[in-house]
Structure 1
Amino acid sequence: MLMLILLPPSESKSPGGTGPKIEVETLSLPQLNPIREHLMSALVELAQDEDACAKALKLGPRQSDDITANAQLRQSPTMAAIDRYTGVLYDALDIASMKISERGHAVERLAIGSALFGVVRADDQIPYYKFSATARIPGQPTLRALWRTVLSQELEQLDVGIVIDLRSGGYAALGPVEGAVTATVVTEREDGSRKVVSHFNKHHKGLLARALSLSKLEPTDISDVASIAKRNGLHAEVSGESELTIVTQP
C-alpha cells in the first residue's frame, strides 16, 4: 500500500498556469469541498477591499498583486499543486529533475497542506493564491476551527499505508493525523549538543520527501522510513514511536 507524504505549502508560488479555471469538484478529498468553496468565496469577497485584505493577510504595499490574484481566484489559470508551490523545500524535492516515471511515482505519494484547500494531491490543479494558516478572514471562524475535525477525518480515512507528515506546525494543526511519522531537523555541535534548526529545516525535509517519493520500496513503519533516509545520505535516527530526527552538522 502506497505511503502518503504530507508536505507543507509555501508562501512563494509559481504564477500563471496553463490549466483551466479551478473546478473544485475535481480536487482530491471531495468531502472538503464545502469548506473550500466557503473559503474561496470569502477570500474573493475580502479582496474587493484592498486595505482590509492587506491587513487580514498581513500583506505589504508591494504585494498588491497578491490581492488582485485573490480577487481573480475563480477565473485564474491553474497548474498542478506540486508545480505551483516553490521555495526551499520544493527546491530540495526538485520534482522538475525527475524522469517521467519518477514523477509519476512521486505524484502518487505526495500531498500538500493548504490553508485554502485543506490538503490537495500533488497533481490537483489549483490557481495562484495568497492565504496562510495564520490568516483569518474578518467575521469568519479560525482556520483551525473550520478545518480540524473534517480534515483529520478525511486524512485518516484515506486508503494509504504509512503517513509521513512533514507539514509545519501551523498546517499540521489544521488536520492532525494520529500516528503519522513526523521529522525534526537538528544541528549537532562539536560538543555533542543538539539544537533544532530553522534555516535548513525545510531543505532537509525536502531531501527526505525526495528520497521517500523516489523509493522503490514502501515503508511500513518508522524504521523503514529511517532506512530509506539513510540510504539517501541523510543522518536519520528513530527518536520516538513516530518521530524521526534528521541530524545535520553546523
Structure 2
Amino acid sequence: MLILLPPSEGKADAPRRGKALDLDRLTLPGLREARETVLDELVKLGADPAGALETLGIGAGQAGEVERNTRVYTAPAMPAGKVYTGVLYEALALDELDAAARRRAGRQLLIFSGLWGVVGVGDRIPPYRCSIGIRLPSTGPLTAHWRRALAAPLDEFAGGELVLDLRSSAYAAMWAPRHGVTVRVLHGGKVVSHFNKATKGRIVRALLQSGDRPRTAAKLTETLRALGYRVEEPKAGQLDIHVEQL
C-alpha cells in the first residue's frame, strides 16, 4: 500500500551546513526535467522580489521566502520528512517511529509538492516556498504541469497497489491513482476541518507501526478497526472514520 500526503506550508529552517540538492537521488529521478523547469523559474523570480511575492501569493513580511527560493540548488538539504513541519507531520512524528516503521515510511509514503512533484520522506531537499496553486510566468499553472509529468511515472510506480490518498484537493488534482481510497474524518457526525490533518497523521503513524499493507479498501477497513478506529464500510473509494477525541 502506498500512502499519499500533502506538503505543509510550514517548513523547517535549512541546516547551516551539509550536502546540497542532488536531483538524481530523489524518488522518481525521471522527473528531473520537470523539476528543473520549476526550480529554474523559482530562482529567476528572485530577480524581481515584488513580482515574486505576487506570483507566490505571499506578503512583504515573507520576503525571506523569495530569497530562500533563490538558493534551492545550493542550500544544505535535509530529509523531506524533516522539512515539513505542519500539523500532519507533527502528529506523524517520523523521528519517533521505531526503525522498522521508519523503513516502511521510506517505502510507502509519497509527499506531493508544487516544486518537486513527489518526494519520498527520505529524499533530501532544501526548504522552499512553492504552493501547487500558483502560476509561474513561463511554466503556467503548476497543477497542469505536474498532471502531465506525473501521470505515466506514478501509474507505473503504483502498479496494482492500494493507494491511501490523504492529500488535500489541490494536490489530489496532480494525479489520480487507479486504486485510490480517500478518508473523511468525522467527529460527532460532522466532518472535521482543522483537526483533520492531525488525525490523518496519527492514522499513518498507526499503519506504519502495525506493519500491515492491506491490498483492498475492505482490508484497510479491517486493519484500521483492529487499530482502534471506528470506520464505516468503504463507499465509492472513500472511508469515513469517526473519532471521539481531536
Give the TM-score normalised by the residue count of structure 2: 0.92
1:137 maps to what in 2?
136
Cα shift at 1:187: 2.4
1:191 maps to what in 2?
none
Deviations 1:25-79 (A, max 9, x none): 1111122211100000001101221101111111122212111110111111101
Q: 1:159 to 1:8 in 2, by over 3 A?
A: closer
Aligned partners of 2:26, 2:182: CA distance in 1, in Å? 25
Report the secondary structure of 1:40's partner residue. helix
Identity %: 36
2:177 maps to what in 1?
177
Report the secondary structure of 2:224's partner residue. helix
1:219 maps to what in 2?
214
Contact 2:133–2:143, Cα closer than 8 Å, also in 1: no
Report the secondary structure of 2:164's partner residue. strand
Unaligned runs of at least 5 residues, structure 1: 189-193
The 4+ residue runs of structure 1 with deviation greater than 6 A are: none
2:202 maps to what in 1?
207
Aligned partners of 2:128, 2:14: CA distance in 1, in Å? 11
| The 10-residue stretch of structure 1 (29-38 or 133-142) with the greater mean CA deviation from structure 2 | 133-142
What is the correspondence of 1:236-247 to structure 2 with a 5 Å cutoff? 236-247=231-242
Aligned partners of 2:125, 2:20: CA distance in 1, in Å? 8
Q: Does 1:14 align with 2:12?
A: yes
- RMSD over equivalenced CA pairs, Å: 1.7
Deviations 1:131-163 (A, max 9, x none): 101112124321122111331222111156221
Give the TM-score normalised by the residue count of structure 1: 0.91
Cα shift at 1:233: 2.8
What is the correspondence of 1:38-77 to structure 2 with a 5 Å cutoff? 38-77=37-76
- For 2:191, give the aligned amino acid: V
2:152 maps to what in 1?
153
For these two proteins, the number of residue pairs brought into alignment is: 243
Cα shift at 1:242: 1.8
What is the correspondence of 1:94-173 to structure 2 with a 5 Å cutoff? 94-158=93-157, 161-173=161-173
Contact 2:26–2:119, Cα closer than 8 Å, also in 1: yes
2:2 maps to what in 1?
4
Aligned partners of 1:215, 1:99: CA distance in 2, in Å? 11
Contact 2:9–2:129, Cα closer than 8 Å, also in 1: yes
Contact 2:229–2:241, Cα closer than 8 Å, also in 1: yes
Contact 1:211–1:228, Cα closer than 8 Å, also in 2: no
Aligned partners of 2:243, 2:153: CA distance in 1, in Å? 34
Report the secondary structure of 2:241's partner residue. strand
Contact 2:45–2:51, Cα closer than 8 Å, also in 1: yes
- For 1:114, give the aligned amino acid: S
